[in-house]
Chains A and B, each alone.
Chain A
Amino acid sequence: MELTHYDQYVLLDCMLEMGELLLDCGAEITRVEDTLSRMGKAYGANRVDVFVIPSLVSITLNFPETTPVTETKRITSTGSTDFYRMEKLNALSRECSREPLPLDELRARLDHVAAGHKPFAVVFWGSVLGGGGFAVFFGGSLWDGLAGAVFGAGICLLQYALGRTQLNVVASNLIVSLLAGLAIGITANLIPGLQMDKIMIGDIMLMIPGLAMTNALRNMLVGNTISGTMRLAESLIWAAALAGGFMVALAVVDRIFGGGLPV
């Protein structure tokens, strides 16, 4: 496929968009870099330099017999893991490396992916199952599981509401964990037979940045030290915010009910 100089910029634009979408849905850095490099090569570039960190995508394309074109994009969204989008992007990039799509079609396909999100109902029921399942997993009774499921639903709704206010992750984690901790602590103390610790653990599991940490480690291990450390620091701070919220809640519940150690 022969691209004019203008088209090369259009392609760059599409690739930056692709990079942003991939980062936003939780793909590892290596995957983003690989995907973009392969895409550039498929469109006829003889050299593609891609640099991706969680907050920036930079691409330089070298086409034969023209000057190189380069652009960068600042990434500000943290996004939530979205396998639904990740798979669509994966399919799109595979298609492109097999047979490059016309640029206007590529743009249309990217816009289509950008518009579609995982359905909220699925996330909601996922939180219910996750909160309940892990309350039982860590030694709770079926009643604890039920309570964990109910609070899981509450956490999901709260996260959704806070997500719309564009609050940063640290602040929203702090608020959600504080409110969840208070609600669980008070309920478990009022209803006999419920074990506060098991319910809290089940719902903490919903909020621990497990994916971010695993990705951080995988990034570091394959040589992306900068991105790995960035992600690791980020997820440790999120985890600290989470712990902070729950600890304040525990202290308050302790004051109200004057309980002993929950172990």
Chain B
Amino acid sequence: MISVIAQLLAAFVGALGFALIFGMRRRYLFAASMGALLGWGVYLLVEWLLGSTFLPSLAAAAFALTYSEIMAKALKTPATLFVIPAIIPLVPGGSLFYTMSFAVHGDLENARLYGTKTGECALAIAAGISIVLAFRELRTKRQ
């Protein structure tokens, strides 16, 4: 439980850092960083319910995009501002590193394992984003 809280807080801090790097204004910082915290919460919840890495990443990415669209409407600003910080914790930086590390050490079997995991995460994020975009398209075209 403590590690879950630590992860959520770290996701918040990391996303806050990214929002600052991209030059976000102060009034949006909290909303943007909350997106990362909640998004990671969705990831952990789905992981706990269903296991695997693909589905949690997909669900969290879809959540992050929906959250961003809602916040963008509420605060009257482009959704991109919120999408990026919210998706950042899902980026498979960890598995990318271990892929490289194993490859350098000549352990190709593990490198392949982590490499696949990295690709899987990236694909899941893409799928999550496309699902939300497809639904949005459907909604705006019907109006």
Point out residues on A near B: beta carbons under 8 Å. 26-28, 31, 81-87, 90, 117-119, 122-123, 125-134, 136-139, 145, 152, 197, 200-202, 204-206, 208, 210-211, 213-215, 217-218, 221-222, 243, 246-247, 250-251, 254, 261-263
Contact = CB atoms under 8 A, between A and B. Distances in A.
B101 A217 contact: no
Given A125-B20, A130-B14, 4 more contacts: A28-B80, A133-B10, A133-B14, A208-B96
Nearest to A223: B137
A123 B87 contact: no
B84 A81 contact: yes
Q: Is the interface of A mostly helix, strand, loop or mixed?
A: helix
Contacts of A251: 104
Contact of A208 (B13, B81, B91, B130): B91
A130 B84 CA distance: 13
A136 B22 contact: no
A195 B15 CA distance: 22
Contacts of B102: 261, 263
B93 A126 contact: no
Chain B binding site: helix, strand, loop or mixed by DSSP?
helix
Given A137-B10, A137-B11, A210-B88, A83 B17 contact: no
Nearest to A250: B104
B20 A123 contact: yes
Given A205-B88, A205-B91, A210-B88, A246 B20 contact: no
B107 A261 contact: yes
Interface of B: 6-7, 10-25, 77-78, 80-81, 83-84, 87-89, 91, 93-94, 96-98, 100-105, 107, 122, 125-126, 129-130, 133-134, 137
Given A211-B84, A247-B104, A83 B22 contact: yes
Contacts of A217: 125-126, 129-130
Contacts of A87: 25, 77-78, 81
B78 A126 contact: no
A27 B22 CA distance: 12
A221 B133 contact: yes
Contact of A218 (B21, B91, B97, B133): B133
A221 B84 contact: no
B105 A261 contact: yes
A123 B129 contact: no
Nearest to A145: B10
Given A132-B13, A214-B87, A221 B129 contact: yes
A197 B13 CA distance: 19
Nearest to A152: B17
A134 B25 contact: no
A28 B134 CA distance: 17
Given A31-B78, A214-B84, A83 B25 contact: yes
